[in-house]
Amino acid sequence: MAAHDIVIYGDPVLREVAEPVEQVDQAVKDLVSTMVDTLKKAHGLGLAAPQVGVSKRVFIVDLSAIDLTAELHVFINPEIVWKSEDEVELEEGCLSFPGIYQKIVRPARVKIRALNLDGKPFEMEADGMAARAILHEYDHLEGTLFIDHISSIARTLLKGRLKKLAAAS
């Protein structure tokens, strides 16, 4: 599968609530393969299916760009089963918002349940950047974007750049 163009802010697919995957079949495997190629090409840390224009509940996280020991994880029909009460502020970007980085507060740790590429359920607990990436990518499946977490002042400051992105998409 070839890499896909990444959907940029302004495309309505990014605001849709993604549909659950009914069966982890070849079409889903092909979708994940496209997403993996797309993420690698973009040197990103995570990618959700809506970002390649497919409104399905699938995302991938690959922290190998910042941690050589990290493995790529595929999350199908994920559920966040627990979030820590303690929160951390970290700078975040999103491949659908090229060039835009914002400090965002999110839970420090998270527990997630999902299906893997074999259709088998698994649970994972994560902290640090892994927790951050999981929460960011999960949001994409709900049509929520990282700019929704910033203050209205920060959003006002970004208004012009967001308008430009949306106009070009």
Which sequence positions are flagged as catalytic?
A: 137
Is the CB of 41 or the CB of 120 nearer to Ni ion? 41
Is the CB of 12 or the CB of 121 nearer to Ni ion? 12
Is the CB of 76 or the CB of 94 nearer to Ni ion? 94
Find the shortest distance in angstroms from Cβ 158 to Ni ion.
15
The number of beta carbons lying within 10 Å of the beta carbon of residue 119 is: 14
**60 lies in the binding site for Ni ion (CB under 5 A):** no
Q: What share of the chain is helix, strand, coil (3-state, %, to 5)?
A: 35, 30, 35
The number of beta carbons lying within 10 Å of the beta carbon of residue 79 is: 12
**94 lies in the binding site for Ni ion (CB under 5 A):** yes
**134 lies in the binding site for Ni ion (CB under 5 A):** no
CA dihedral 75, 96, 99, 144 (to 10 degrees): -80
Binding site for Ni ion (CB under 5 A): 94
